[in-house]
Structure 1
């Protein structure tokens, strides 16, 4: 079997090989390390069916088995002889096991030795660490003891002080005089003693700072707990001595002693005590001189702060500036103090709250605003003592500064101003008619002053939003919104009134009664005021607003300008509506005279009047309302020539359109009536036996009516020309001409 080789049949020589596989079946895929059967089947699923794949896999399996048999047959002799060559295998295993066992024993012994040595080293390191920690604690305790002793020794070196220093009574310290039992005879000796004491206190404060560090790292230790009384006693003595020295230095304005005391306060992190001492010793007496707290001053005049702030600023320059300069000196290390906020501003706030509580009440908006602006100026004055922007930011972040600003309820103030400003405009707009606030000028011209009370109130309200005694920069966006709301309210009042007038519902809506009671001459005031308001809002008013907001960025100013200009444009967009209302009113009056042309039919129907030779009397009155309006005193005074021409053309076009509708309807009715009568007449003639070919050569009634209308529109065209309107430019007039003109004059309009 080992020597047999697979043979191929004759058919295999001329066909595909037996082991040939399709192109999609690759044997190498099974040999890849990351081969995944599920992914392999999923990929081939789109190419072949499961039956085909199973068939190919079975064929491949058979091929692998066949190759395995070939390999075994090829080395079969060596495989059989393998068992005969394995001689004394057990003996070889025993010989190999002995040295391996010996090697294992040696490794185990060495491992035990290393482990014991490691345990010994670890124990030694732990003992060493414990000893080091104990030594550190011992050194810390020794240092703590030495520092406490040193502090107590330094305190004893201080000059003797009154017994009540230990309770921190700063006022009693201020009244005490520093002495060492020896009466100082000269100011120079007193100054030297004060400087020496301040230097010694600074040194003690530095040691106390070290002591706090040691105590923070040696908490809950019996030794330290036993020393707490000594530490507290030393701390109280230090605070009392430092407070007395600081008070004495402030009274004598000893810059060196003050500097040393402040450094001592900074060293023990007790800046608040220094700020309180300065407030009570220096600031409080000064503020009480300006704003007494013993009795509350009532009344509007008593609550004003401008003069008080001015006096306080003078006192600051005179009595506080020296300390502020010391604390703000460059590289002094005293930036931790904030005497501006925690000493000066805090005392000022307390004095105002107790002595002038009505100052913060927005119930009197004018006085409230004066005090608020004075307070902002005072804060700006205090910020002038800050040496840098970071110092200003720190000053504004202090709780006292925030509390001071909270006292000024700007929201309530704006609400009161809103009610005041918006309420005045609403009161003016709910009036039942358009009320002029000034007499008409006697001579012609174009007045630039507002006429209607509603318009005057709007402009006053708009200006009130930005007046010096009303506007607050922090509420600038609210006042801008209020200004735009005022303009929108006025525009809505006009547009809604005109819309109600057009629909005939003006009387049903409160506030729009003015629309029904207004005559065309009243709308002259409206047109004039709209023009004046647009000019003012987009001109001087806008410049004034931008001037108020000059401190804002360019982007903000551009947005403000766009919003106000847009509001002015919305107001100017109402002009066409008002002018249309005037045109409709004038047209309605003129149409009343035009309705008289219906009498022309009765004049020539079934009568024997000859052809007319002159126009009808009603024609002269058609344009009389327009002429009276345009050449009246109000229009001549308050309307520009451009607006008057626009009103004239609009009225002329509207009236002519109505003229054409009435005339065309009249002519159509006349012609239909004439046609009906003609048919009746012809039927009567046929029944009487008369010839139907007999024609009536007389002029018909329709021709007479058309001739009369033709004469009327010629006169109407001349009247238009007299007012400055070319009749040929009106499409309705041309249509009317072609409707009534004789055939030979249809295309030749001659007015």
Structure 2
């Protein structure tokens, strides 16, 4: 009331000052302060403040909240002033409010009591309903178990009844000696005797197999029931009856299956196999077929006694496999056709692996264990390849790719492949092939080939021929195993590397003083230049062979591999061939070095020129020295020899001539320039001595122009010599002016007027 008295009536909003017009509005807020957030139903003051305090100072937040509170108070006062009359009259309208409240409370209390009573009845009904459902569920579970037990009992009884209805069932099978009786039946088949051939015919056998198939399907149902009724006393009490029924079924099924195999009754065999498949006992059928049919068949082909090996037995398997293939076609194909029939459901059997291959492996292990021994590599490889051919023949009976995959994954197949120790075989071949090359390369000298073989490729050295034979041996049909082709490829590359290393080591050791002391390099120390012609010829032929026919032969053998693998093989072989070709310049350099050494022996006669013209009155020389004709004699002898004519091509000959001429001329220049320099220095010293003596004697120091100095005579002799040497180079097809060291030699000894023109 006091507030209302002080503000009797609403007044218009006072006008804003000029300062207010150019500043923020009075009710403006920062962007982070949103008044609408206070109106949210899930507004929480603590969380609101904690969120804002992460980026707003507490003082600023408090100031803004106080400003907002002040604004709300002003708004409240404005609202009261606006509706002041209604606010004052409100108290006069609230008459007898308590009585109205009492009148409304009674029906509300009554309604609450009714609702609580209804809720109690609903909860009681819900509890009763849940108990009923639980009892019903327990009753259904008990009924299910009871039905399962009844079904189990009915199936057991049905199986026993069907077993009794079999046309012929030996009474002693129920004693548990089913296995012994099964073996007796197999023995009777082996002896050509049928248990009931005289009494029962095809119809009886087929009827028996059909009943057994039905029993097997019931036994399959029984296994399902037992799996769902474990640890129940009723089932445990029936366990003995179930075991007896199972034994009787196994014995009867074994007998019927063997009888069907003996008489080749396709219908009986088909029904028996379906029965075995139904009870998931394929192993028993595969074992019966192995012992009844396959074992006698293999025993005739690969005989062996209980102790194993038969005396004098061969280790060859090719003829045995040929007979086994024929016997499989005659004695086993009928069963394989039945088991592989389309939509027969008999794909679970694998008679190829678990019956035929298993028996073949056992027979070979007993009668011919040496067939698996890699100690005799040739026989081992022959047996291995014929065995792979035999496995491929067995795979031919598989009706599909999936059947082939399943055949290869069987334990018998895996065990059969484990018998072939390919690692040991390759090790023996490695020692044989690599050992032959090592023995040839260990020779202390180069060994020329005496009797060249037709496939030797005109190779001249035994070491090179052995390398070629070793390389070819890696990929021969009677050596190579495709599954080990990566190892044989590595061996081929190792052989090439071994030969290249033998060459490079020998050439490097030849340059040393104690070359003969290096093991394996003695051949290089004793070799003459003509011997290296053989090496160049052989290297060139080997590189061509490796990069040509040899590479094509390998790629043809590996044609079944992917393009990426073939490209890798090709690159590696080409790299090996190129490594041989890269050795040719080194060999040529070695020949040049040897020729240069021999030429150096002739060039030592240069020292005689100094003795001839030093302190003598000999006139200027007019012809070349005799030693000149001997400088290039070793090179000419090499080129004119039989080996160069027969085994050196034009390209190698050109490189050899050019390199030898350059090297020999370089040494010629070194010796001649040294000789001239020494002569000139000596002459200069003598001249100074003479001039000093003449001055002391008071004589004239003039020298006659007609006198020629000793260095001039020496240079003139050398000039005549190098002209003859240039003519000798020209006879070999070498332009002396193209050799830098010859030009330097000409500049060193030529007269002043012929310095710039090389002519002879």
TM-score of the alignment, normalized to the shorter chain, above 0.5: yes
Q: Which runs of 5+ in 2 are unaligned?
A: 38-42
Q: CA deviation at 1:340?
A: 0.4
Tell me the residue number matched to 1:148. Answer: 156
Tell me the residue number matched to 1:197. Answer: 208
Alignment partner of 1:126 is 2:130 = no
| Corresponding residue to 2:250 among 235, 239, 243 | 239
Tell me the residue number matched to 1:263. Answer: 274
Tell me the residue number matched to 1:214. Answer: 225
CA distance in 1, matches of 2:237, 2:370: 55
CA distance in 2, matches of 1:373, 1:712: 74
Tell which deviates more after alignment, 389-398 or 358-367: 358-367
Alignment partner of 1:161 is 2:169 = yes
Tell which deviates more after alignment, 542-551 or 465-474: 542-551
The answer as to whether partners of 1:738 and 1:746 remain within 8 angstroms in 2 is yes
Q: CA deviation at 1:711?
A: 0.5
| Corresponding residue to 1:138 among 137, 146, 162 | 146
CA distance in 1, matches of 2:632, 2:421: 63
Tell which deviates more after alignment, 29-38 or 107-116: 29-38
Q: CA deviation at 1:76?
A: 5.9
CA distance in 2, matches of 1:403, 1:281: 22
CA distance in 1, matches of 2:635, 2:452: 21
Q: CA deviation at 1:61?
A: 5.8
Alignment partner of 1:229 is 2:237 = no
Tell me the residue number matched to 1:290. Answer: 301
Alignment partner of 1:668 is 2:677 = yes
Q: Map 1:335-374 to 2 at 5 A.
A: 335-374=347-386
- TM-superposition CA deviations, 1:197-243 (whole Å, max 9, x none): 21222222222222222222222222222222222222222211111
CA distance in 1, matches of 2:709, 2:275: 126
Residues 170, 507 of structure 1: alpha-carbon distance in 2 compared, 3 angstrom cutoff: same
CA distance in 1, matches of 2:648, 2:313: 49
Tell me the residue number matched to 1:556. Answer: 565
Alignment partner of 1:571 is 2:583 = no
The answer as to whether partners of 2:309 and 2:368 remain within 8 angstroms in 1 is yes
CA distance in 2, matches of 1:665, 1:622: 18
Q: CA deviation at 1:98?
A: 4.2
- TM-superposition CA deviations, 1:334-355 (whole Å, max 9, x none): 1111000111011111111111
| Corresponding residue to 2:538 among 526, 529, 533 | 529
Residues 89, 737 of structure 1: alpha-carbon distance in 2 compared, 3 angstrom cutoff: farther
Tell which deviates more after alignment, 412-421 or 310-319: 412-421
Q: CA deviation at 1:55?
A: 8.1
Residues 292, 480 of structure 1: alpha-carbon distance in 2 compared, 3 angstrom cutoff: same
Alignment partner of 1:709 is 2:718 = yes
SS at match of 1:303: coil
| Corresponding residue to 1:70 among 68, 74, 97 | 74
Tell me the residue number matched to 2:343. Answer: 331
Q: Which runs of 5+ in 1 are unaligned?
A: 45-52, 442-446
The answer as to whether partners of 2:452 and 2:458 remain within 8 angstroms in 1 is no
Tell which deviates more after alignment, 648-657 or 1-10: 1-10
The answer as to whether partners of 1:300 and 1:367 remain within 8 angstroms in 2 is no
TM-score by length of 2: 0.89
The answer as to whether partners of 2:159 and 2:218 remain within 8 angstroms in 1 is yes
Tell me the residue number matched to 2:40. Answer: none
SS at match of 2:374: coil
The answer as to whether partners of 2:603 and 2:627 remain within 8 angstroms in 1 is yes
Q: CA deviation at 1:32?
A: 7.9
- TM-superposition CA deviations, 1:706-732 (whole Å, max 9, x none): 111110010001111112212122121
Q: CA deviation at 1:583?
A: 0.7
Q: CA deviation at 1:287?
A: 0.7
Tell me the residue number matched to 2:620. Answer: 611
CA distance in 2, matches of 1:696, 1:678: 15
CA distance in 2, matches of 1:440, 1:383: 47
Residues 223, 59 of structure 1: alpha-carbon distance in 2 compared, 3 angstrom cutoff: closer
CA distance in 2, matches of 1:652, 1:537: 33
The answer as to whether partners of 2:547 and 2:577 remain within 8 angstroms in 1 is yes
Tell which deviates more after alignment, 3-12 or 430-439: 3-12
CA distance in 2, matches of 1:42, 1:570: 75
Q: Map 1:671-686 to 2 at 5 A.
A: 671-686=680-695
Tell which deviates more after alignment, 243-252 or 687-696: 687-696
Q: CA deviation at 1:286?
A: 0.7
Residues 15, 535 of structure 1: alpha-carbon distance in 2 compared, 3 angstrom cutoff: closer
Residues 36, 55 of structure 1: alpha-carbon distance in 2 compared, 3 angstrom cutoff: closer
TM-score by length of 1: 0.90
Question: Alpha carbon RMSD of aligned pairs, Å?
Answer: 3.1
Tell me the residue number matched to 2:327. Answer: 315
Q: CA deviation at 1:252?
A: 1.0
The answer as to whether partners of 2:529 and 2:594 remain within 8 angstroms in 1 is yes
Tell which deviates more after alignment, 296-305 or 324-333: 296-305
Q: CA deviation at 1:621?
A: 0.4
Tell me the residue number matched to 1:172. Answer: 184
Tell me the residue number matched to 1:415. Answer: 427
- TM-superposition CA deviations, 1:672-695 (whole Å, max 9, x none): 333333333333444444455666
The answer as to whether partners of 1:154 and 1:200 remain within 8 angstroms in 2 is yes
Tell me the residue number matched to 1:399. Answer: 411
The answer as to whether partners of 1:298 and 1:358 remain within 8 angstroms in 2 is no
| Corresponding residue to 1:585 among 589, 594, 614 | 594
Tell me the residue number matched to 1:26. Answer: 30
SS at match of 1:278: helix
Aligned positions, number: 729
CA distance in 1, matches of 2:100, 2:694: 161
CA distance in 1, matches of 2:562, 2:623: 74
